């Protein structure tokens, strides 16, 4: 009988993992370990990123375990080297940055992920952030709660724009970007996309695929970032790119903090080149005391909540459990990161 470690946390809980595994591998023996996230922030540990949990506690829990079913625990090289029975790590995230893929591959451990698990949640949050920036929802809420009634904001020179009729530029057209595009089209926006990995036939009817980021920036009254962060696109939206955006435009980032130069963003908001911005991902999480982002005008922020929903946690567990069943049944998994070790 195979033994599976259910290494959950406060979001993708061990109970959610257990229920999903029971549907796909009902006869599995299980052990459980609960990590401290999200009450404790994720950190970079040894050779992995965005991880939580105690290393030695994880190593102890992995003894005799064939499959680790986890979300945020850190599977560093040290952990993998000290888990001799481990053959598979399933991470309930779109990108398993908390796993040392080189170490796993060297030790014949298959790593799988759960792409698309939070696409709907992130899409909904992105639309909410676009509208919050356009309509200045958080600013008006704060004023009312401070006893300030801004009736003057109905003056023509102070009211904001509508999404309808505007060109919205999307940087990236994956699981989230394509969903955002469909909603924006339904709202009457013109949607243009920059995604160097796509050809024109791969976007929906009515969505324009542009050939360069500069072209997109020059036309976007609203710009929303949906790219996956890589070493090559750090600060892909910086001062020069923001300067190309039309005067009075809006910038939204619900993707990754490293994609945007936040000092350049603050400069553009302070100078009123940008009308507003909204960000769910930030350069440091949590923000340090005294961060300029806390006092910059017309900036709405949320603490990296875009992918958070009950359905996202449940879907992640379901996708992961289905791949565990495939692995144990010697059927190729659907979401392997290092498929070269599958079947070893």
Catalytic annotation present for 235: no
Stated pTM of the model? 0.91
Band of residue 216 on the pLDDT scale cut at 50, 70, 90: very high
Residue 342 has pLDDT above 90, yes or no: no
* Residue-level pLDDT at 208: 96
Give the strand pairing for 208-209 and 190-194.
parallel
How do residues 281-328 score in pLDDT, each as one tens digit?
A: 999 988 999 999 999 999 999 999 999 999 999 999 999 999 999 999
Q: What is the DSSP string of 245-314?
A: SPTTEEEEE-S-GGGB-HHHHHHHHHTTSEEEEEESS-SSSSPPTT-GGGT-TTEEE-SS-TT--HHHHH
Is the domain spanning 3-117+308-341 CATH 3.30.465.10? The answer is no
Q: Which residue in the list 256, 318, 326, 335 is annotated as catalytic?
A: 256
Cβ-contact 52, 35 below 8 angstroms: yes
* Residue-level pLDDT at 230: 87
* Residue-level pLDDT at 326: 97
Helix, coil or strand: residue 224: strand
Measured distance CA(99)–CA(91) in Å, rounded:
8
Tokens standing for residue 5: 């470690």
* Residue-level pLDDT at 344: 67
Measured distance CA(130)–CA(153) in Å, rounded:
19
- Which CATH number fits the domain 119-301, given the four candidates 3.40.50.1820, 3.40.50.720, 2.130.10.30, 3.30.750.200? 3.40.50.720
Asked if domains 3-117+308-341 and 119-301 share a fold, the reply is yes
Q: Where are the beta strands (DSSP E) in 110-236?
A: 110-112, 167-171, 190-194, 208-209, 222-225
* Residue-level pLDDT at 343: 72
Band of residue 21 on the pLDDT scale cut at 50, 70, 90: very high
* Residue-level pLDDT at 1: 76
Catalytic annotation present for 285: yes
User: For residue 170, which of 183, 153, 157 has the smallest C-alpha distance?
Assistant: 183
Q: Where are the beta strands (DSSP E) in the chain?
A: 3-8, 29-34, 43-45, 48-51, 67-70, 88-91, 110-112, 167-171, 190-194, 208-209, 222-225, 249-253, 274-279, 299-301
How do residues 223-232 score in pLDDT, each as one tens digit?
A: 999 998 888 9
Band of residue 185 on the pLDDT scale cut at 50, 70, 90: very high
Cβ-contact 83, 63 below 8 angstroms: yes
* Residue-level pLDDT at 322: 98
Stretch 326-336: mean pLDDT: 96
More confident residue, 32 or 159: 32
Helix, coil or strand: residue 329: coil
The half-sphere exposure of 138 on its side-chain side, counting CA atoms within 13 A, is: 16
The half-sphere exposure of 96 on its side-chain side, counting CA atoms within 13 A, is: 28
Q: Where are the domains of the chain?
A: 3-117+308-341, 119-301
Average pLDDT, rounded, for the chain: 96
Stretch 53-61: mean pLDDT: 97
Q: Which residue in the list 93, 304, 326, 335 is annotated as catalytic?
A: 304
Cβ-contact 90, 65 below 8 angstroms: no
Q: Which residue in the list 46, 272, 285, 340 is annotated as catalytic?
A: 285
Cβ-contact 320, 69 below 8 angstroms: yes
How many residues are recorded in the chain? 344
């Amino acid at each position: 009988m195979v033994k599976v470690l259910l290494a959950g946390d406060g979001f993708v809980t061990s109970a959610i993992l257990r229920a999903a595994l029971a549907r796909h591998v009902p006869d599995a023996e299980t052990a459980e370990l609960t990590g401290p996230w999200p009450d404790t922030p994720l950190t970079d540990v040894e050779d992995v990123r965005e991880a939580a949990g105690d290393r030695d506690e994880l190593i102890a829990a992995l003894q005799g375990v064939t499959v680790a079913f986890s979300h945020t625990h850190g599977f560093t090289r040290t952990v993998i080297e000290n888990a001799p029975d481990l053959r598979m790590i399933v991470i309930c995230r779109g990108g398993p940055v908390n796993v040392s893929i080189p170490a796993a591959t060297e030790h014949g451990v298959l790593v799988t992920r759960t792409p698309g698990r939070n696409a709907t949640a992130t899409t909904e949050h992105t639309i909410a952030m676009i509208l919050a920036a356009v309509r200045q929802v958080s600013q008006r809420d704060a004023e009312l709660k401070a006893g300030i009634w801004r009736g003057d904001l109905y003056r023509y020179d102070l009211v904001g724009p509508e999404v309808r009729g505007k060109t919205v530029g999307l940087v990236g057209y994956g699981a989230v970007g394509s969903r955002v595009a469909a909603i924006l089209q339904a709202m009457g926006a013109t949607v243009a996309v920059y995604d160097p990995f796509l050809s024109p036939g791969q976007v929906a009817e009515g969505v324009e695929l542009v050939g360069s980021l500069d072209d997109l920036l020059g036309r976007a009254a609203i710009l929303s970032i949906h790219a996956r962060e890589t070493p090559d696109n750090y600060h892909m939206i910086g001062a020069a790119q923001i300067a190309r955006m039309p005067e009075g435009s809006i910038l939204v980032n619900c993707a990754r903090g490293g994609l945007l130069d936040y000092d350049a963003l603050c400069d553009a908001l302070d100078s009123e080149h940008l009308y507003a911005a909204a960000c769910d991902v930030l350069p440091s999480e949590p923000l340090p005391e005294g961060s300029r982002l806390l006092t910059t005008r017309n900036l709405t922020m949320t603490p990296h909540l875009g992918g958070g929903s009950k359905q996202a946690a449940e879907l992640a567990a379901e996708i992961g459990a289905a791949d565990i069943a495939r692995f144990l049944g010697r059927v190729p998994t659907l979401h392997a990161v290092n498929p070269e070790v599958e079947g070893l």
